[in-house]
Amino acid sequence: MLYAILCYNSEEAIGAWSKDYHDQTMTRLYAVNDKLAREGRLGPVARLLPTTAATTLRKGREEMVIDGPFAETKEQLLGFYVIDCASLEAAIDTAKELARANPGTGSYEIRPVAEFHPSQLPDQKKPAA
């Protein structure tokens, strides 16, 4: 079954990472990616720009375009993974691996995927990792 693992953390804290700490953490996270890829379990992965770059379209009788996310929260959605997991336990184990690679504050929300359409982007449209 496919699970989305949604990464929440304080973007202020992530933004305060030193370059060294950033590089070390990303190396550890990419190692988890590689392992999942080897196991044939890794779906799309995305890291999002800060919420200051976000815009929200609020639906309604009159549509509203809002600067930033709709609701202000202490932890922000910073990115997500789509991963094939045999069970919820396996999904939790994967989230724990990510947490070990990137310890500290924040949380991973594990959400089973109801419907999934693989990427149809031409290769050159994909931003570099």
Partner 1 sequence: MNDLGWIDPVLGAARPQVMGALLRYFRNLDTAEEAFQESCLRALKNWPQNGPPRDPVAWLILVGRNAAMDQVRRQTRMTELPDEAVLSDLEDAEASLADRLDGEHYKDDILRLLFVCCHPDLPATQQIALALRIVCGLSVKQIAQAFLVGEAAMEQRITRAKARIGAAGIAFETPGAPERAERLAVVAAMIYLLFNEGYSSSNSQEVEARKPLAEEAIWLSRLLLRLFPTEPEIMGLTALMLLQRARAKARFDESGNVVLLEDQDRSLWSRPRIAEGLALIDKAMRHRQPGPYQIQAAIAALHARATRAEDTDWAQIDLLYANLERLQPSPVVTLNRAVAVSKVKGAQAALDMIEPLGERLRGYFYFHGVKGALLEKLKRPDEARKAFGQAIALANTPAEAAHIRQHLDRLSAG
- Distance of closest approach, residue 71 Cβ to partner 1, in angstroms: 11
Cβ 28 to partner 1 shortest distance, Å = 8
Q: Is 16 left (phi over 0), alpha (psi -120 to 50) or beta?
A: alpha
By beta-carbon proximity to partner 1, the closer residue of 56 and 119 is: 56
Shortest distance, position 67 Cβ to partner 1, whole Å: 5
Question: Which residues lie across from 9 on neighbouring strands?
Answer: 76
Cβ closer to partner 1: 61 or 74?
74
Smallest gap from Cβ 73 to partner 1, in A, equals 9
CA distance 64 to 102: 36
Strands (E), the chain: 2-9, 42-47, 55-58, 64-67, 76-84, 107-112
DSSP letter at 48 equals P
Q: Which residue, 18 or 120, has its beta carbon nearer to partner 1?
A: 18
CB nearer partner 1, residue 49 or residue 86 = 49
Task: Name the residues that contact partner 1, by CB under 8 A.
Answer: 10, 12-18, 21, 24-25, 28, 49-50, 52-53, 55, 65, 67-68, 74, 102-105, 127-128
Partners of 81 in the beta sheet?
5, 45
CB 94 within 8 A of CB 85: yes
